[in-house]
């Protein structure tokens, strides 16, 4: 029974686009460089192949922060390592990734899992763990990115490899979980315990993450219930103000103005917090306090909000919706298809001083491209697409 359930969970977890949405070709301007076909050309985008410890070769794309005014690449303080959902590849997500890099003012690396896009091998849980590890090593070894400057971002199934890597790294800047899952089995069945044959046991890993975690989930998600995101947030050590988007579904959260607004606030907060820590550390180094030994080092343990966990059964029940006093907003209309306006967006976007920090959402010329790219990623995570009649 366990083996059958595990195989079924793995079967429902991965739907690589077939055929892939892009191909790779040699760059005409730079010898030995690769470029993706079928996507707009942009300065500061590099495509490479990376070898994983399981023998596969995955495709990774590194997007450097671009100044829109000067059209020149600028250095960015932070880099996002993005793990996408289960039925998309780099070609489909390309324009969204470019928009995120621009609006968040960060570098961004994304990669295709084994068996996705032009990556070799077959998709599996263990391969995705090796895939994100290889992408991370590429950031550190090839691009010289410090671990302290990396934010891991996992969408849907991508929350699995994201959390698996996060628990193994002690100096990450932060983690973002976008429509995350408690575990593969829990998406399909309301199980109360964690079984050995389950996949992506995020519920057991999230308490071990030692950096700020932002959780974003739509309250109308009919693929991965919002309770998954809420329970994961409750189990976090370092909780950041979550974003529960009222009316948001599994694949349209980027269309809500509060999505990018809250994400920008989070990135700005974690970037400033590290600057503050660095300044504090520097002042300690300049202290005149005598040292008893050259090996004496002041180590300040990370503050933790760890609490005793409730019984596992309580984490599998859906939570009652929380009352929200936030103003209601409607998402932008998609160019790809006409959609009925969604319900209100629940975004507690207030500062600690109690003052409302929210600003009116200004129209963005590039939002059209973002909407188109989101429309391409209209996926149903962990559900067989053939059963939906699509």
The reported pTM is 0.72
Sheet containing 45-51: order of strands: 24-26, 34-36, 45-51, 57-63, 107-111, 79-83, 150-155, 174-178, 213-218, 243-245
Instruction: Identify which of 129, 123, 96, 120 has the alpha carbon closest to the alpha carbon of residue 110.
Output: 96
2-279+312-388: CATH superfamily: Alpha/Beta hydrolase fold, catalytic domain (3.40.50.1820)
Positions marked catalytic: 156, 221, 250
How, if at all, do strands 79-83 and 72-73 pair?
A: unpaired
- Which pLDDT value is given to residue 66? 83
* Tens-digit pLDDT profile for residues 51-82: 999 999 999 999 999 877 676 777 789 999 99
Higher-pLDDT residue of 43 and 291 is: 43
Q: What are the residue boundaries of the structural domains of the chain, listed by start?
A: 2-279+312-388
Rounded mean pLDDT of 352-376?
A: 42
- Which pLDDT value is given to residue 11? 59
Across the chain, mean pLDDT equals 77
- Which pLDDT value is given to residue 285? 43
- Which pLDDT value is given to residue 315? 41
Contact between residue 171 and residue 226 where contact means Cβ atoms under 8 Å apart: no
Using pLDDT thresholds of 50, 70 and 90, give the confidence band for residue 339. very low
Pairwise CA distance, residues 179 & 215, whole Å: 8
CA distances from 213 to 131, 264, 350 (A): 22, 14, 17
Token output for 118: 């032009």
């Amino acid at each position: 029974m366990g083996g059958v359930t595990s195989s079924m969970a793995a079967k429902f977890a991965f739907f690589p686009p077939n055929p892939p949405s892009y191909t790779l070709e040699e760059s005409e301007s730079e010898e030995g460089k690769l470029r993706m076909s079928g996507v707009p050309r942009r300065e500061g985008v590099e495509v490479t192949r990376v070898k994983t410890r399981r023998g596969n070769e995955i495709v990774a794309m590194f997007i450097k922060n671009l100044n829109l005014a000067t059209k020149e690449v600028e250095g960015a303080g932070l880099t996002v390592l993005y793990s996408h959902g289960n039925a998309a590849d780099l070609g489909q997500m390309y324009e969204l990734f470019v928009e995120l890099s621009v609006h968040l003012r960060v570098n961004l690396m994304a990669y295709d899992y084994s068996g996705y896009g032009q990556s070799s091998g077959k998709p599996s849980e263990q391969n995705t763990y090796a895939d994100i590890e290889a992408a991370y090593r590429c950031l550190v070894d090839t691009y010289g990115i410090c671990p302290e400057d990396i934010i891991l971002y996992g969408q849907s199934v991508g929350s699995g490899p994201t959390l698996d890597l996060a628990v193994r790294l002690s100096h990450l800047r932060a983690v973002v979980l976008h429509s995350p899952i408690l575990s593969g089995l829990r998406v399909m069945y309301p199980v109360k315990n964690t079984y050995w044959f389950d996949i992506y046991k995020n519920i057991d890993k999230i308490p071990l993450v030692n950096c700020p975690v932002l959780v974003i989930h739509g309250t109308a998600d009919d693929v991965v219930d919002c309770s998954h995101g809420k329970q994961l947030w409750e189990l976090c050590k370092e909780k950041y103000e979550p974003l529960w988007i009222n009316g948001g579904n599994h694949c349209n959260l980027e269309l809500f103005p509060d999505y990018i607004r809250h994400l920008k606030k989070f990135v700005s907060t974690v970037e400033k917090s590290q600057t503050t820590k660095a300044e504090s550390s520097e002042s300690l180094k300049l202290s005149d306090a005598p040292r008893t030994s050259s090996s004496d080092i002041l180590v300040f343990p990370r503050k933790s909000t760890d609490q005793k966990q409730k019984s596992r059964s309580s984490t599998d029940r859906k939570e009652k919706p929380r009352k929200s006093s936030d103003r209601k907003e409607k998402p932008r209309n998609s160019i790809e298809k006409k959609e009925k306006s969604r319900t209100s967006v629940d975004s507690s976007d207030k500062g600690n001083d109690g003052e409302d920090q929210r600003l009116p959402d200004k129209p963005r010329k590039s939002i059209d491209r973002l909407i188109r790219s989101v429309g391409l990623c209209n996926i149903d995570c962990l559900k067989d697409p053939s059963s939906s009649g699509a």
